[in-house]
Structure 1
Amino acid sequence: MKTDLEALVVRHTRRVPLPDGPAGDAAAAPGAAMARRFDAALMDTGFKLSGDLLAALSRLDAQAVASLAVRTLATVRELVGDHVRHNVYFIDFPNNVPDTFEFWMDCVRATFSEPAHQEKAAIAISEGTLDLLTLATYGDYQHTYEEMLARHDELIASAGDRLTVLHPGADPQTEAGDLYLALAGSAVPLNEDDARDLTVLARHHVHGPQPEQIPVREIRAVVNHARVDAGAEPLLDTVTDVLRLACALAGGDVTLQEPTRFPAFPRRIRRVLLGGLDRVVAGSPAKLADTGVHAERWKRLGERLHPHEYPRWPHAADVFAVARGDKAAPTPDARIEALLAAGDVHGAVELLATMPGRLFRSLDRLLRLHPLPDEAEAVLTAAERTAKDVSGRVLLSVREHLANREGSLAEDGAKAHGKRGKGARRNRRYRMFVNRQGRAWMTPERRGPIPAPVRQRLIVLLDGEIARRLPAAARLLVDPDMLDVALPLSGRATTGGFGVLPRGSRSRVEGEVLRFFVYWRQHGAMTDYDLSALMLSSGFSAPSWISFTNLKDGAGVHSGDVTNAPEGASEFIDIRLGWFARAYVLPQVHIYGGEGFERVAESFFGYMTRDPDQEGRPYEPHTVRMKSELRGPGRVALPLVFERHDDGTWTARWLHLYLAGGVSHNQVEGSRVTVSALLRAFVEREYLTVRHLVDLMAGRGAEIVPWDASSEPVQKGPEDGGPVLYLGLERPEGLPEGTRVVTPENLRDLIPA
């Protein structure tokens, strides 16, 4: 298990925990030779030891370094997707890829030349159809992985190849403890991978230090699950905390988005849940009102807990009485709706002011009710009075919401297009919605405007409160590439993987050749994933695509369709950006048939960049810029989109979206209209980024110093000795001692509580 904790630390922090093994004579540097070999092996995967880490390892016993090297190499190879074999259907890809129709005809000829396949193919053709899956040579690799490698030259090194630096850490237990505190105390929900890692860490730290606060209820449920398993008292504050804990103990969904089948809990668990429920309600009977929000779940849980068998906990029995309707406990939502239905805005605001977070989430609605001037003033005054009690994540979410509510619909249309009539209707705005699972959909914008003075007053309020809570720093060392990274206000705004940024982030794309890749390995059923790329003009029109039905299209080429992956399969697409005239390139992964993203044994997407003269294997870990796990609910995945600017440069914009798609036979041709409209709605949306927080900290007097890795390192902090904060995509060497470092891996730490 120590090895698992060590791997978690490397993945999350890019630090290598230093072992407690025997150290040799520093002068003799017993581990120096092994450390250099470790460094060389890491560079083959695009990683490198920092100078400090190399020196620290050189002082250790050589065998300890060798053991650490084996474990760390396995971790970083999995990070970038190099732990599997990436074969291609066309052995010479990206060279010698045939024309699509000619390739299909070759498959037909090969099929009819083999008696074992002739009858099956002849029947398909006689019925007027040609099913590619019936062709003998279609969809399965026609060569081994070793044969494919033999056809490709060694990778030609490039100055643009990725090099990720690993830094020294403390001992594994200390590093794991710090990581546990960071994840458990996160101010934003965790994605699925981070939540799974927290589960492992929580089981090891039940009796150790705990975060001062666990503000996210889903995270609290994970921690409570570990505490109950270890015999410790769970941390319960609301009746819904108990419901989430019951879902966790049943192996269900702690977010309460999906139904959970409750088992027959053992008596010990029933006592924990009922006793905890009784204490919560006894301490605050008003919390009974939360029961009605999930009444059906409570009724199902009551059938398993048998509260009537425990008369010593009467307050717990009240919860189930409310769920059944035997006892009245109106929910706050019902009371708010009743007041608004009666036109009592003042009463609704007064009630909402007792729930500051809900008040702020209701501001748009309240201000669109066309309240009288005194009613609008009451809303704003309540917001100003309660802002200090609202979580930082809600403040930032409302601030981002207001950034997308500027002006009226007519004003927006006139500013954006300067057209009327049919042109204006074509360019109408849409709202995009993304749920917690990353499922996306859109609807026409029909909301009325928020008056500009009201909107501006709220923005000033929000920015002031957010700035007050940001970490104090006398100097900010800022990597300019970090400024366009979106703030992770939701756990599903990002996914597990390497080089992954939150939804809405922008990042520069360097290199002339862009190569997408997808890998999947089916669990049981025959599974066919298809990698495609949709290309659109600046007006999100004139679509063209590269897919298994169109293997080559100008600047793009497909590696070939693989339709079965019992031992894993890969598909690639190459795009030569210098030859490309379209404005958007949108890679997609379609499930043509078989297991979904959440059922396959493994699946991930990523992209590489190369120079035109670089050779090498189709997959080279040096060149991987991003690798993202595919674990969404739909049948079509949209990981990110690439955008060409007027000066010819390219940026990636992160989507992390899933579309429902069909049960089978999903193809880029069938979804191009929906995807084009969704992309337009996404591009029109503004996301709150690190740049906004940097501007707020600068307004508070922090010195902003752009960080350039090629420049001289900043060896000292500010003259007054104040704290230094570094914001960057990776942690560089040469930072002043004591610098607090924030990278995408721990960007959640920048979200104020």
Structure 2
Amino acid sequence: MIINTIYLRRANKIIVNREQGAERIPKTYLAAALKNIEHLGYTFSMPLLSAVRTLPREQFKALYHQLVADLKVLVGAHVEYRPMYQDFPLQVMQEDDADLYLNAIYHYLTLELPESKMADRPPLLDTASLKVIDLGNKAEFNMMIRQLIEAKGSISETDKQNIDTAIELADLEELDEILPSEIPFKENVGFVAGSLLKHDKANVKLIGRYIKTATDVLRLAVAWSQGDVSLAEATRFRKFKRSERRLLLGLLEQCGQITEDMLRYKERWIRLGEILHPSEYRHRYKRTEEAFDILRNNKPFTTFNGSVELAFQYHNVWVLMDLLMQRPGEFARRLDHLLRVAEDPEYVVLAFGEVADQVSTPVLLQVKNHFARRNVPQELRVFFQKGNVAKAFAIPNTLPAISQAACQDIIELCEKTLIQRFSALPPLGKTYIDGRLKSYHVPFSQRSASKALHTIVRGSRVSMMEGDTLRFFSWWKEGTVDGKPTGRVDIDLSAVMYDRNWQYVEHISYTNLRSSKYRAVHSGDIVSAPQGACEFIDLHIPSIVDYGGRYIVATLHSFTTQPYCDLPECFVGWMMRKKPASGEIFEPRTVANKIDVTADTQIAIPVILDLVERTVIWTDLSLTRHPYYYNNVEGNQKGMVLMGKAMTALRKPDLYDLFMLHAQARGELVDARDQAGSVFSVDKGVTPFDIELIMSEYLV
């Protein structure tokens, strides 16, 4: 069932309803099933084994076939891999340059792959730890969905699809388990309310408890029109029925100060008003009609932000403090600017201290992290654009230094406020916190996160598994999407190498299939994919490091310029191999991660490797094609170096710091994991992959 598909990807669990009195399936069935999924890198826990054995034979078969299909998609084993050189990597390393050139020309002219015979390959000599699938239940699944809805930050498109599916399938009793009394993050309000309306499971009372502001109503209208609830992009509103118009206008009327909120998105509200026709209901919704009248006719209206900008313009610090104390979250976001214009920064700190307890936990954590590194010399400042596409912008850091004493006071103020807040939560008891969590960032915003086998927060660093060869793989397919043919699709996999100072060393791509300086090799350039196509790159880590290389930027380029969102399927991933010439070229059990590439861009940077520290830096970024160059790795060097420097220098609040604050507030730290009742680690207890749990319960 579809719930198990979601549960498996998110938590490595499935639901099995035990059958009482049913004939147990033969041990041979179970042994064969486990052997088959072992090939994919998975096995069953003992509770799951026990539950599965109670199933009738036909139910077991159905469960097994669905499970195998889901696991194959997770690791990328659901498609056929036929690289241009089928005895990769040895064939490319041994072929002479003339043959490599002639084979490429033959393929470009005919779109046929050159004939090559698959050599006998020895069995896979690498060993990989199996991932354990555990037994779950419906209550746990519903709680997982509830935690997603309760997230204190934006969630990904995949998260939204999972919530929507759960709402669609839930009966009334389960809906009560899924829906919280409050939805903290405003974008999620619009999406969840829209999902409830779409599946005819909403009423004014139910969604009215979530709608607090005019922007909440706008997001609901956007969600109902299948638009971007982050409001980063404008939406073409659908035509609403009369009853739907009354619902939106009624929700708007019940909100507080709506005019100023509506002015933030003035043009969108004017377009929405043309569809809602508020003048038809002027006597029922008087405040709403007055607000639309101000927007449409440009009547004067003093806004809070206008007053703040005017005070900044004249450096009127006392007025600024009075204004910003009315909106503590805005005070936190403007704190650095205010300290820069204030002659006496200690008064600014005192004023912020009076309202810090009203600032959200995610914002306090970011303020604390910002001022902890505020005067540390940094070459770049990095910003992530709001919206569903992961685009990062890096600019030179020209911020002047500010009082270090003020910075320290703010850090201590944030810590004190957070510890006091966390102390009201249930006690943790003896608590163990893994030092490796310093490499994992706190999940504040997952809006543009790609669907992946293991999703973590952008900028986090993951230790590489054992092995000296990292094998990248990509797969894509051309065809028809929403009735529109893609035409020929050529997706190029590349790896660009830099030294420790980010000076270019070499690249491996369709223009350079192998290196003569170290062991790095590409499987060959395929330029058409009617049945699907793949490319591989092998990187031998010791030989690259010995040559002076340190960073590898993995990139995916759409040479034929189709954005990835317009393709039937496209994904990229990597494996760690000890004996790369053994086993199949694609071995599912060795897959470290696989990422679906669906962004509305033509260049993707899924990860950056630090070969000296043997870490994978999770980037999940997109670049826009440069208009004056071919869409390949050579034409985007400047952008990749900038992103590489920015992402490797990125320092955001980390999970170690977050969990330490919780431990100080409500736990007792211990040095050994087996002594603890509460464990925070990279592989046990609460882990960096429990994103919905962290966002809902540890960012309160």
TM-score by length of 2: 0.90
Structure 1 Cα separation of the partners of residues 454 and 37 of structure 2:
17
How far is the alpha carbon of 1:157 from its aligned partner? 4.2
Q: Distance in 2 between matches of 1:487 and 1:364?
A: 21
8 Å CA contact 2:372–2:407 kept in 1: the answer is no
* Counterpart position of 2:330: 358
Q: CA offset at residue 185 of structure 1?
A: 0.8
Answering whether residue 312 of structure 2 is matched by residue 340 of structure 1, we say yes
2:605/2:621 contact within 8 Å kept: yes
- Partner Cα separation in structure 1 for residue 336 and residue 223 of structure 2: 34
* Residue equivalent to 2:219: 244
Cα–Cα, structure 1 residues 70 and 552, in superposed 2: closer, same or farther, change >3 Å? same
Are positions 1:167 and 2:134 aligned together?
Answer: yes
Among 374, 384, 389, which residue is 2:358 paired with?
A: 389
User: How has the CA–CA distance of structure 1 residues 100 and 289 changed in structure 2, closer, same or farther, with 3 Å as cutoff?
Assistant: farther
Counterparts of 1:41 and 1:745, CA distance in 2: 30
Q: Which amino acid aligns with 2:444?
A: L
Using the TM superposition, give the Cα deviation of residue 677 of structure 1 relative to its aligned residue in structure 2, in angstroms: 2.9
**In 2, are the aligned partners of 1:155 and 1:614 still within 8 Å (CA)?**
no
Report SS of the residue matched to 2:566: coil
Question: Which residue pairs with 2:490 in the alignment?
Answer: 528
SS at the partner of 2:91?
coil
Show the counterpart of 2:594: 627
Structure 1 partner of 2:13: 15
Q: Is the 8 A contact 1:293 1:331 kept in 2?
A: no
- Tell me: CA distance 1:23–1:62, structure 2 relative to 1, closer, same or farther (3 Å): farther
2:238 to 256, 263, 271: 263
User: What are the within-5 Å matches in structure 2 for residues 166-205 of structure 1?
Assistant: 166-171=133-138, 174-205=139-170
Correspondence for 2:502: 540
8 Å contact from structure 1 (residues 24, 61) kept in 2 = no
| Pair 1:748-2:695 in alignment | yes
- Quote the residue 1:126 is aligned against: none
Alignment of 1:501-516 (within 5 A): 501-509=456-464, 510-516=466-472
Offset at 1:574? 0.2
CA contact (8 A) 1:100 1:551 kept: no
Q: Distance in 2 between matches of 1:469 and 1:495?
A: 32
Write out aligned runs for 1:648-687 (5 A).
649-662=613-626, 665-687=630-652
Question: Residue by residue, what CA displacement relative to the aligned partner does 1:373-412 show, whole Å, maximum 9, x if unpaired?
Answer: 1xx23321232122221111112222332344224xxxx3
The answer to which of 383-392 and 299-308 deviates more is: 383-392
1:60-139 matches, cutoff 5 A: 60-97=55-92, 101-103=97-99, 105-107=101-103, 133=108, 135-136=109-110
Q: Residue in 2 aligned with 1:690?
A: 655
Give the conservation status (yes or no) of the 8 Å contact 1:140–1:562: no
Name the SS of the counterpart of 1:349 in structure 2.
helix
The reply to whether residue 617 of structure 1 matches residue 584 of structure 2 is yes
Aligned-partner Cα distance in 1 for 2:97–2:644: 30
* Cα gap change, 1:559 to 1:668, in 2 (>3 Å): same
Matches within 5 A, 1:268-417: 268-280=243-255, 284=256, 286-311=257-282, 312-369=284-341, 371-373=342-344, 376-407=345-376, 412=377
Matched letter for residue 692 of structure 1: D
Contact 2:391–2:621 under 8 Å retained in 1 = yes
2:678 partner letter = L
Q: For the Cα contact (< 8 Å) 2:125–2:583, is it kept in 1? A: no
Structure 1 pair 154–224 and aligned structure 2 pair: CA distance change class (3 A): farther
Gap change, CA 1:668 and 1:72, over 3 Å in 2: same
1:555 to 486, 498, 519: 519
SS of 1:96's equivalent? helix
Instruction: Determine the C-alpha separation between the residues in 1 that align with 2:697 and 2:419.
Output: 11
Residue 454 of structure 1: CA displacement? 0.7
8 Å CA contact 1:198–1:222 kept in 2: the answer is no
Equivalent of residue 456 in structure 1, options 408, 416, 432: 408
The yes-or-no answer on 1:726 pairing with 2:682 is no
Q: Kindly tell me: are residues 750 and 486 of structure 1, through their superposed partners in 2, closer, same or farther at Cα, counting changes over 3 Å?
A: farther
Equivalence for 1:34: 29
1:742 deviates by: 6.7
Helix, strand or coil at the partner of 2:504: coil
Per-residue deviation at 1:142? Answer: 3.9
Using a 3 Å threshold, how does the CA distance of structure 1 residues 602 and 330 change in structure 2: closer, same or farther?
farther
RMSD: 2.5
Residues 155, 615 of structure 1: 8 Å contact kept: yes
C-alpha change, 1:468 and 1:101, in structure 2 (3 Å) is farther
Change (3 A) 1:699 1:585: same
| Preserved CA contact (<8 Å) 1:31 1:61 | no
What is the identity, as a one-letter code, of the residue corresponding to 1:381?
A: L
Q: For residue 493 of structure 1, report the CA deviation from its aligned partner.
A: 6.7
Note if contact 1:493-1:503 (Cα within 8 Å) is conserved in structure 2. no
1:434 aligned onto 2:379: no
Q: Label 1:103 to 1:392 Cα distance change in 2 as closer, same or farther (>3 A).
A: farther
For the residue of structure 1 that corresponds to 2:621, the secondary structure is strand
Question: Counterparts of 2:98 and 2:149 in 1: how far apart (Å)?
Answer: 56
SS of equivalent residue, structure 2 residue 48: helix
Residue segments in structure 2 that go unaligned for 5+ positions in a row: 481-485
1:627 CA drift (Å): 0.9
Q: Work out whether residues 513 and 610 of structure 1, in 8 Å CA contact, stay in contact via their aligned partners in 2.
A: yes
Task: Specify which of 417, 430, 438 is matched with residue 475 of structure 1.
Answer: 430
Change (3 A) 1:36 1:745: farther
- Residue 38 of structure 2 corresponds to 43
Partner of 2:669: 703
Contact 1:439–1:633 (8 Å) recurs in 2: no
- The answer (yes or no) to whether the contact 1:432–1:678 under 8 Å persists in 2 is no
- Decide whether aligned partners of structure 1 residues 697 and 100 sit closer, same or farther in structure 2, where only a CA change above 3 A counts: farther
1:661-714 per-residue CA deviation (whole Å, 9 max, x = no partner) reads 23683111121233113312322221222221233344445223454xxxxxx4
- Aligned mates of 1:355, 1:266 — CA distance in 2: 37
Q: Per the alignment, in what secondary structure is the counterpart of residue 308 of structure 1?
A: helix
SS of 2:7 mapped into structure 1: helix
1:222 aligned to which of 191, 216, 219: 191
What does residue 606 of structure 2 align with?
Answer: 639
Per-residue CA deviations over 1:188-229 (Å, capped at 9, x if unaligned) read 110121122222223344842221321111111111112223
Amino acid at match of 2:393: W
Q: Percent identity?
A: 26
> Which whole-Å CA distance do the structure 1 matches of 2:267 and 2:81 have between them?
48
Which ranges in structure 1 are unaligned for 5 or more consecutive residues? Answer: 112-131, 413-427, 708-713, 719-723, 732-738
Contact in 1 for aligned 2:346/2:406 (Cα 8 Å): no
**Residues 432 and 617 from structure 1, CA distance in 2 versus in 1: closer, same or farther, beyond 3 angstroms?**
same
Question: Is residue 529–residue 592 contact of structure 1 (8 Å, CA) maintained in 2?
Answer: yes
Q: For residues 492 and 227 of structure 1, do their structure 2 counterparts lie closer, same or farther at Cα, with a shift above 3 Å needed? A: closer
| 1:43 Cα deviation from its structure 2 partner | 0.9
Q: Which residue of 1 aligns with 2:531?
A: 567
Structure 1 pair 481–61 and aligned structure 2 pair: CA distance change class (3 A) = farther
Q: TM-score, normalised by structure 1?
A: 0.84
Measure how far apart 1:624 and its partner are: 0.5
1:596 aligns with 2:551: no
How many Å separate the matches in 2 of 1:65 and 1:725? 36
Deviation at 1:729, TM superposition (A): 3.8
Once the two structures are TM-superposed, the CA of residue 255 in structure 1 deviates from its matched residue by 0.9
User: Which amino acid is the alignment partner of residue 124 of structure 2?
Assistant: I
